[in-house]
Amino acid sequence: MKKTLIAIAALAATGAFAQSSVTLYGRVDAYAGNLKNTLHSNATPAESQSVVNSGGLSTNRWGVKGSEDLGGGVNANFQLEQGFALDKGAANGDQFDRHAWVGLSGKFGEVRVGRSYTSLDDIRGDTNQVANTNLAATYDVWEAGGSDYKFNQKNQIKYLSPSFNGFSAGASYALGENKNLADADPKKDNSGQGSTDTHALQLRYANGPLLVGYGHQTEEQLGGKPSIKYDYVGGVYDFGVISAVGGYQRAKDGNGARQAYQVGAQLPYGFFNFYAGYAKSSADELKGKNHDVDGYTLVATYSLSKRTDSYFGYKHLSEKNATAADGVGAKAGEKRQLSVGLRHIF
């Protein structure tokens, strides 16, 4: 009898250590507005048209994440997250195209294995204009100008360090896993790395109103072609009444270099938040080409509750100095988006 009681007590003690939690979460976002996209990077140029679309402010997503206490200050963690188009009710790409990883965390930091965002994207996201939402001009401008990196990687091992007096670091390595594939254009699919390895790191300092950081990412290529290397520096400072963000990125490969920067400001006022941002990408070092893309954005959000926002946004991009060498003839293009929408977070 005593042995039975001891065994039950041992099992109970084990269960006390193995505390676990699982959370279902997501964001749903839809807007009505007007779109136009005649940039050369858009395969099917679209003239001005009225739309009902999804993800004006935030990409629609749902996910499950959880953690289990393994004892000794160590936790087992996981996250599965899928993006979807609310206006169509259709999933985006892979089943869990945003996050699919499992890992451990503790005093040593955190390790994740699976699909997630790169370490460079971690610091860029935290220092991006318009709170790193879809209405920021940064991604559209830098992608159209050929200055942006692959932000979401499959087959990745990622490490995040603990903070030491405000200093922290992170590193990620994604394996291409198929060296037999011909090396496709690395800019065609910004959500996966094809047959190439990608490694990245980030360093940051966060203390009070200040956040500054540096990120680097190298995307290897096959066939003896030079790797594509990205270097980014960015920062945020909260002045109390207003906060300012900014970042500079340089992309370099065998053809030369592309430079890009972005700046922005946020002004909270009661239930409102006002944002403004500007971004530019320049390829003036790219073998004599001078293909520039720049854009700006103006956004206002109004909090209907802690989890629901209404918003208004206008984003405009301009493409300049496009030539036949860029594959677009002599015609430049533009992209603009006017959106009035609603976002709910659960």
Domain ranges for the chain: 30-345
Among the listed ranges 72-76, 215-219, 288-292, which one has the minimum average pLDDT value?
288-292
Is the pLDDT score of 315 beyond 90? yes
Looking at residues 77-87, what average pLDDT do you find?
A: 97
Read off the pTM: 0.86
Query: The dihedral of CA 234, 123, 41, 30: what is its sign?
Result: negative
Looking at residues 309-320, what average pLDDT do you find?
A: 95
Is the pLDDT score of 8 beyond 50? no
Looking at residues 62-66, what average pLDDT do you find?
A: 98
Q: What is the pLDDT of residue 192?
A: 45
Q: What is the pLDDT of residue 336?
A: 95
Secondary structure of residue 222 in the 3-state scheme: coil
Give the confidence band of 289 by pLDDT, cuts at 50, 70, 90: low
Looking at residues 116-120, what average pLDDT do you find?
A: 97
Backbone angles phi, psi at 54, to 5 degrees: -120, 155
Per CATH, the number for 30-345 is 2.40.160.10
